Amino acid sequence: MKRSEINEILREGAAFIAQHGFVLPPFAFWSPQEFAAHRPAIGPLLEARLGWDITDYGQGRFADLGLFLFTVRNGRQADLKAGGGMCYAEKIMISRQNQISPMHRHYLKAEDIINRGGATLAIELFGAAEDGSFDANAGGVVYCDGVRRAFSAGEVLHLAPGESVTLMPGDWHAFWGEGGDVLIGEVSTVNDDETDNWFRDPIGRFPEIEEDEAPLHLLAPDYARIA
Ligand SMILES: [Fe+2]
């Protein structure tokens, strides 16, 4: 992706989030220079990779295959291993109309995917084979706001604003906005996106960035530059 495209998506995404009444923390709007100036005090923020994360899954077709994310909070892997403490994470995301987040599952992360406003959130579901791999014939059971919901292989849930689904590790899922763009919340287990995504098809998780202009704001994958 070109940096100019990422900057434009950032502007549009921040406006969409604000329009739906979700207010981001101050560091969302720091310039790259402000990030550098705060460096001594923000070790945990950088380590947890809080902040902007825009991806085209390395495919160069953001409108069709992509996701806009902001990680609001993300705990500590060490706490998860120890069995207590900061084991949680929260993201706010945007799926545009018919923009697919491709079929994947997680190894460790359980996640509540929440429609926070806008259009309908469509979520396609499959169960896993015995070894955890994708099974085109497997259904399963999820809970939607605490209510049991059995699904057949490839069934699509349609979540209206306010509705959510709990996905456990092993639940294969893809999602997109239906009828318009949708603001999505994610409340989950502490998360490492470098290691915890198992995609059905061989794709990347982060974009390749071509620097054709200066970044408006840093993305989490940019932190390596200042860390
Ligand atoms: Fe997921």
**pLDDT tens digits for range 122-131:** 999 999 999 9
Q: Which amino acid is at 226?
A: I
What spacing in Å lies between the alpha carbon of 138 and ligand 1's midpoint? 18
What spacing in Å lies between the alpha carbon of 11 and ligand 1's midpoint? 24
What is the tens place of the pLDDT at every residue in 119-162? 999 999 999 999 999 999 999 999 999 999 999 999 999 999 99
pLDDT at residue 226 is higher than 80 = no
Q: Which amino acid is at 12?
A: E
Say how many C-beta atoms besides its own lie within 10 A of residue 58's C-beta: 14
Residue 33 or 206, more confident = 33
What spacing in Å lies between the alpha carbon of 112 and ligand 1's midpoint? 9
What spacing in Å lies between the alpha carbon of 78 and ligand 1's midpoint? 21
What spacing in Å lies between the alpha carbon of 105 and ligand 1's midpoint? 6
Whole-number Å distance between alpha carbons of 12 and 22: 14
What spacing in Å lies between the alpha carbon of 171 and ligand 1's midpoint? 9
Average pLDDT on 69-92 reads 97
pTM: 0.95
Residues near 136 by Cβ (< 8 Å), separated by ≥ 6? 126, 153, 154
What spacing in Å lies between the alpha carbon of 165 and ligand 1's midpoint? 11
Instruction: Mark out the alpha helices in the chain (DSSP H runs).
Output: 3-19, 32-38, 43-47, 77-82
Whole-number Å distance between alpha carbons of 201 and 218: 28
What spacing in Å lies between the alpha carbon of 212 and ligand 1's midpoint? 31
Q: Which residue has the tokens 């990422």?
A: 6
Q: Which pLDDT belongs to residue 36? A: 92
What is the tens place of the pLDDT at every residue in 201-222? 988 878 889 999 999 999 999 9
Average pLDDT value for the chain: 96
Q: Which pLDDT belongs to residue 204? A: 80
Closest C-alpha among 199, 222, 221, 218 to residue 33 = 218
What spacing in Å lies between the alpha carbon of 31 and ligand 1's midpoint? 29
Q: Which pLDDT belongs to residue 227? A: 59
104 phi and psi angles, rounded to 5 deg: -155, 170
What spacing in Å lies between the alpha carbon of 150 and ligand 1's midpoint? 19
